[in-house]
Amino acid sequence: MTDLGDLPRARGESTRFCPFLPRLLSTPFPICYNTGGEAVSLEGFDWYTMVFLPLLIFASRVGDVSLGTMRIILTSRGKRKIAPLLGFAEVLLWIVVVSRLVTRLQSPLAFLGYAAGFALGNFVGMYIEEWFALGHVIVRVILQKGGEELFHALQKAKCGVTAFDGMGSRGPVKLLFTVVRRRNLKEVIKIIQNVCPHAFFSVEDVRTAHAGIFPSVIPGERKGK
């Protein structure tokens, strides 16, 4: 394998993205042992191509894909102020880092790092967006029994709730509608399941909500979430 000293790419051009790389490459290489117990020097191992480049591509791809995933989700929910900022950061990261690293793909590990970073970036972006829990959702509950109890339980939690009488396939039903902040959704679902475990309910995103009654903190919810 070619010595790192003979690779100008590893010591020069490509180290612009990793300032500590020249110092690291100049240090003595460790000694490892094969299955036979014989000492084997790693002096000829291409650390940049086989280790550092795939890791850099992986981390950079996770970053820009996470931003892109959050931008798409927030755009679909009408967050006009946040989505453009995420788009700016996403493109800037791609131009400055990712696009330059991608042009230096030299090994199968780099391709795997690119693909793995893209896959993980989607998950990370969705997780972060769910963690922030921005926006509102509407919860629709349809039940045959326990409508009054659930109505008062939601009112006690300071949720704005509206009730209707309806007719279902099995007879008269009670319909309850409430619009809550997404960060309060888990607590609202707990209330529904505790009062009426067999109630049917559905949850949908709300692009815009004006006025209404929204609890600052639902009883049982941790503050600062």
110-123 per-position pLDDT tens digit = 888 888 988 999 99
3-state secondary structure of 30: coil
Q: Where are the domains of the chain?
A: 4-132, 136-206
Q: 140 pLDDT exceeds 90?
A: yes
Per-residue pLDDT of 164-210, as tens digits, reads: 888 888 889 899 999 988 888 889 999 999 998 888 999 988 877 66
Residues 129 and 151 sit within 8 Å (Cβ to Cβ): no
Domain 136-206 has CATH 3.30.70.120: yes
Helix axes 53-76, 82-93, angle to 10 degrees: 160
| Alpha-carbon span 17 to 85, nearest angstrom | 24
Q: 2 pLDDT exceeds 50?
A: no
SS (H, E, C) 32-57: EECCCCCEEECCCCCHHHHHHHHHHH
Per-residue pLDDT of 52-107, as tens digits, reads: 878 888 888 898 899 998 888 888 777 778 888 988 988 888 887 777 777 766 67
pTM of the predicted model as reported, rounded to 2 decimal places: 0.55
Q: Could you tell me which of 201, 212, 220, 196 has the C-alpha nearest to residue 160?
A: 212
3-state helix, strand, coil in the chain (%, to 5): 50, 20, 30
Structure tokens, 3:
């010595």
Residues 192 and 225 sit within 8 Å (Cβ to Cβ): no
